[in-house]
Structures are given as C-alpha cells and as structure tokens.
Structure 1
Amino acid sequence: MDESSRERLARMRGDEEGSFEVLVIGGGFAGTAAAINLARARRKVCIIDDGKPRNRSSEHMHGVLGSDGVRPTTLLERGHTEFAAYGGVIFQDRVESLARVGGDNWVAETESGRSLTASQTLVATGITDSLPEVPGLRDMWGSRVFHCPYCHGYEATGKSVGVIGGKNPAFTFKMASLLTKWSESVTLHLNGLDPTKEQLQKLEATGVVLDRDGVVRVSPAAENDTSVEVMTASGTIRYDACFTGPDFIPNDQLLRKAGCTVVDGWVSVEGGKTSQPGLWAVGNVVSSPDQVSQAIGTGAGVAIAIDQFLFDEEFSG
C-alpha cells in the first residue's frame, strides 16, 4: 500500500479523537447487532444511546433463539458488553443534530456537548408507541398490556383476552382477529373506533366479541401478575390478558432533517441505505413490524453492507 493510500485509510478509519469510521445512533437490538458486527470487522465504531429502548418496560421477550423469556434490557446489556469487548465505544447520550460537513463526514452533536464524526452513520433510533388515552394503560405497558400477538399471544392460550381500542384502527382490528388463534374468548373494546363493513365481517368471522362502550380505566387485577380489569360505563370486566393497538411513531427526526426521502410516512431505505450518501437506517425507525429477532438480523445485514462499502471505498481508484 502506498503512502497516499495509508493516509486515506487512516483518515477514513478515524485516527483522531472523536472521529470514527461508523457512528451508530441508537443502541437497541438493531443498532447493537450492527455495531458488534462492524467492530468484529475491525472498524472503529461508536454507539450513542440514550438508554431508552422501545421495550424497556417489557419484562420478557419471546421468539429469540436461546433467549426465550429473557428480559429485553438484560439481553441488550450483554450485547453492549460484547461490543465493548471488541473495542467499541459507547456513550450514553442523546444526539441532537446530525449534519454532513465538507462532503465527506457526518457530524453528530450530542446533548452533553460531544461532537462525533464519521464518514458513515447508522440511525437505529426506533419508534415510540403512542397508546390510547386510557387511565392506567401506560402503567401496565409491557407487564400486563401488550400489542404483538406473535410476541405474547402464546402466553394467552386458552385465556380470556381483552383488547383496548382507541388508536391505530387497522392494526387493532387485525391484532384482535389474530389473537383468536390462541384464545376462543377475545373481546375488543372499540373505545371510539368505527370498523368498516369489511373489518366488521372479519372480526365477526373470527369470533371477536365487540364492546362499544368507552373504556373509563384499566387496572391490574389483584389475584395474579397478568390479569387486568377493564372498567366501562356498563361495569368492570376481568381479563386474563390484555392487548392494545398503539400508533407507531418513528423516531426519525434526524433522518428527516438530514433530507432523507420519505415515502408513505416512513424514511425510505434500500438495503439500509437512505437517499443521503453515508447515511443508513435500520430497525423500527424504518420498519415498525421488526421484532427483536428481526431487528438483530437486519442490523447484522446492514453492518456487512456498510463494511463492504467502506472496503470498496478504501481501495478504489
């Protein structure tokens, strides 16, 4: 390798304080999986994470090979430890702005005053679950109230299930119908939702019972750790399990401000690439259905794409 190539390689690999090859904004499952794979590929990588993963309230996760029933934050802590063991740098901080400077690098400015630079930046900031405005619902989110049948439906097998409506109609109706795969007793409290004729036919065909009363409050039942009491104008009903359909709001402000193309309300990516050079995105920030196992897989895939992009750049020309 000639001297000019060495200089270019050193510059790309970030041999300066605060300079990296790849910044990963968001240390959830997608971001951490990507960061580990990049660190193992001998890249200089930094995770900036605000310590607020989407599923931080969940007491257990399912469908993750070898980790069924493990608390999500426990698995994330293991991942962060593994990343650090490969030489990765982690800052618990919040990125407030992200901008391309000089045509070559992205600069992330953080809440604490850090200024971090890399030629490639991966945004994995997830989504926010906006729940129906029902007193008591937020307090039980992740412990007694869930949204994903494939994550938590099995635990409701043979039990009475209550579904609280009020947001995200299409998702809520589909989720209520899907839950009948596990339970023969599913009641959907519409709570203001108005299904179309087609949606109503699907709900009736799958055996979902509809309750049109507004929900006044939900509370934990005293007899165990899973049951929920739903109070309506007509009285209080106890369920063994409870689900709701939140709005899924991507935390994509950094991507939008950077000028990324948005299609149907979501930042558009192809193989993790956004429309902006050197800017990538993965996980729930660009794909609401991603579960933990999916997020880990897509994170690893995008990491490989970033590494190969850098490799080609380093030895081109």
Structure 2
Amino acid sequence: MIYNNKYDVIIIGGSYSGLSAAMSLGRSLRHVLVIDSGLPCNRQTPHSHNFITHDGEKPAIISAKAKTQVDFYETVQFYNGLAISAIKTESGFEIETQSGKIFTSKKVLFATGVKDLLPQIPGFAECWGISVLHCPYCHGYEVKKEKTAIVANGDMAFDYAKMISNWTKDLRLITNGKSKLTLEQTQMLKKHKVEIIEHEIEALEHENGNVQHIVFKNQSKVSVKAIYFRAPFEQHCSLPESLGCELTEQGLLKVDPFQKTTIAGVFASGDCHIQARSVAMAVSSGSFAGAMINREIIDEEFI
C-alpha cells in the first residue's frame, strides 16, 4: 500500500472507538490513517451485549464488519503496527511506528483504551471477560439469578453489592482479607442476605475461563457461576502523556466537552477517557470525536 506523506488526522487505536471516529472523518472527506496493533481489551470476551443491532455478537465480528465498512471510504487508510513515538511539530504531529515508519498529520486522536491490572491470582486472568466480569450492564443479564460473587472491599464493595443485587439475590461479597466495611454497611448487606467472606483468595478453579469455585488460602472453597471485579487500570498507551496530555485523578485522559485533551490538536475517545466502559459508549465517543476534529479543521481553514 502507498501511504500519504501527510494526513489530516492520525487515529492511534483501531478498535470500536477508533473505527467509529474514522468513519465520521472519512464521511467528512478527511485523509485519515488508523494505526492499530490488533490487541483490543475485550479480545477474550465471547460476546458483546447492550449494543443495539449487535447484541450477543462476538466482539471480533463487530470490529471486522466495522473495519470493512470504514474501508469503503477512500480517504481512510489502515496501518497494522504499534505507534511508539509522538512528537508535536510546527505544522502538526509526527508519529513513528515500531517498524520505523513515520507519518505526519494535522491532528491526532488517541483511541487507545486502558490496560486492566489484574490480581496475580491463578485462574483470574483466564476468566477475565468470560466469567469474571466488570459490568452488569454488559454481562449481568447472562448470569442473572446465578450464584455470584463480588471481589471488592470498603465503600466500593458496598456500592457494587447494592448494584449487583439487582441481577441476583444469590450473592456473596469476598473482601479478600479483613473487611473494611463500616458497621452500618455490614448490617445493611446482612439485611439483604449478602454473605460476607473475609478469607484471602488462593485461586479460581475454572473450565476454559468459566469459573467453578473460588479457592481460599485456608483451603475452603465456594461455588460460583460469576464474579464481578472492578480492576484498577493504567493507560494502554503512554504517548498521550509523552505529549503532555493531563490525566484525571482516575487515570483517564482529561478532555473538554469537545473531546480535546489538554494539548492543542490532540483528541481522545473511548475507554482511555470514559469511566463507563462498553462498546456502545466507545462507538458513540468515537463518532463525536471525529465530528469535533473535522469541525476544528474547518474552523482553522475557513479564514
């Protein structure tokens, strides 16, 4: 493929949000390059839910169909690789890939997502996205009324248990060590028949990612069909920070209402700046970011 020397926009990250932005920009006649390394965060998740017209579809099928549709727009190109450097220049930005390719653009959109930091518990990573879940809106219906555990502690554990009780009453809270719940929170959970287990977790017994038992360090175990866990995270890509983009207290890229970061010409969409993570949210964010980038270029050119 022959690549342009200069693009209107380079999108780093070609999953749902990046592809949505690329479609918005392609339909705006912008020359766009999408750089993607092919490692979406939900690659282990068997099915995507709560995204109208695609409910229950495999994530890879959604993204493959999206890429085919975006590829229809002749001003959009794709580059399979990893972006390793981003430099702000007088005329825009210079992006270098791991293979040594260098591309330039007026604007940059980061749709790079975040990296979940999972506990070093045997079986946890293998079950992540399959039976260890982060979002009841994405997966709660599929495990409704099932024997369910929450791994959390303190205020977050209380709020999480209250939320998950909407989908199942067969619920136990695993604090993985001494409980940090207040007396009032403990009494409230017991009132709603939420079992509180303070044992430390040794491992998850599972079959092909489908959890069967939580095994504790005292060698006791509990049978469950699903586990909810809110993983801490970090930015999947360090390039926004290398450009000087600020992060929020939560570790997300700080953006204004138009999805501009704190560095002029740099935008963000998808999980790298959204607290609520879902395919539908990522697609919406990408579409809006594409429109805002196009509007900014129009304003700059129409003088």
Instruction: Choose which of 196, 208, 213 in structure 2 pairs with 1:229.
Output: 213
Q: Is the 8 A contact 1:221 1:229 kept in 2?
A: no
SS in 1 for 2:290: helix
1:224-282 CA distance string (max 9 Å, x none):
x8452111125222112222221122225211110123332333111210121111111
Q: Which amino acid aligns with 2:270?
A: G
Which runs of 5 or more residues in structure 1 are unaligned? 1-14
| Deviation readout 1:4-63 (Å, 9 max, x if unpaired) | xxxxxxxxxxx9833211000001211110011101111111110110111111000110
Kept in 2, the 8 Å contact 1:124–1:284? The answer is: yes
- Cα separation, 1, equivalents of 2:51 and 2:226: 22
Give the alignment's Cα RMSD to 1 decimal: 2.1
Contact 1:248 1:288 (8 Å CA) reproduced = no
Report the Cα distance in structure 1 between the residues aligned to 2:71 and 2:207, rounded to whole angstroms.
42
Structure 2 equivalent of residue 99 of structure 1? 87
Tell whether the 8 Å contact from 2:127 to 2:210 is kept in structure 1 after alignment: no
Displacement, 1:140?
A: 1.5
CA distance in 1, matches of 2:87, 2:284: 28
Which of 218, 221, 225 is residue 240 of structure 1 equivalent to? 225
Q: In structure 2, do the counterparts of structure 1 residues 98 and 201 end up closer, same or farther at CA, with 3 Å as the change threshold? A: farther
Contact 2:25 2:291 in 1 (8 A): yes
Shift of 1:68: 0.6
Change (3 A) 1:238 1:274: same
Which deviates more, 134-143 or 184-193? 184-193
89 and 171 in structure 1: CA distance in 2 versus 1, 3 angstrom threshold:
farther
Of 141, 144, 168, which aligns to 1:183?
A: 168
Identify the residue that residue 132 of structure 1 maps to in structure 2.
119
Distance 1:128 1:172 in 2: 22
Match of 1:255 in 2: 240
5+ residue gaps, structure 2 = none
**Match for 2:276 among 259, 283, 289?**
289
**2:95 corresponds to:** 108
Are positions 1:51 and 2:35 aligned together?
no
The residue number in structure 1 matching 2:50 is: 63
Residue 68 of structure 2 corresponds to which residue in structure 1?
Answer: 81
Q: Is this contact kept in 2: 1:134–1:216, CA < 8 A?
A: yes
* TM-score, normalising length: structure 2: 0.91
Equivalent pair of 1:180/1:207 in contact (CA under 8 Å): no
Return the alpha-carbon distance in structure 1 between the equivalents of residues 161 and 176 of structure 2.
14
**Structure 1 residue 36 corresponds to structure 2 residue 10:** no
- Residue deviations 1:183-220 (CA, integer Å, cap 9, x gap): 11111211136424165455445442111111111012
Percent identity between matched residues is 28
Which secondary structure does the structure 2 equivalent of 1:263 belong to?
Answer: coil
* Counterpart AA for 1:76: S
Which amino acid letter does the alignment assign opposite residue 201 of structure 2? V
Q: Aligned equivalents of 2:179 and 2:91: distance in 1?
A: 51
Alpha-carbon distance in structure 1 between the residues aligned to 2:156 and 2:36: 29
> Quick one: distance in 2 between partners of 1:18 and 1:81?
24
Q: Which amino acid aligns with 2:202?
A: V
Paired residues, what number?
297
Q: TM-score, normalised by structure 1?
A: 0.87
Deviations 1:85-139 (A, max 9, x none): 11221111111111111x2211111111110110010001101111122111111
Indicate if the aligned counterparts of 2:113 and 2:271 stay in contact, CA closer than 8 A: yes
Q: Residue 213 of structure 1: which of 195, 199, 209 is its match?
A: 199
User: Cα–Cα, structure 1 residues 308 and 236, in superposed 2: closer, same or farther, change >3 Å?
Assistant: same
- Aligned-residue offset at 1:294: 1.0
Equivalent residue of 1:216, what SS?
A: strand
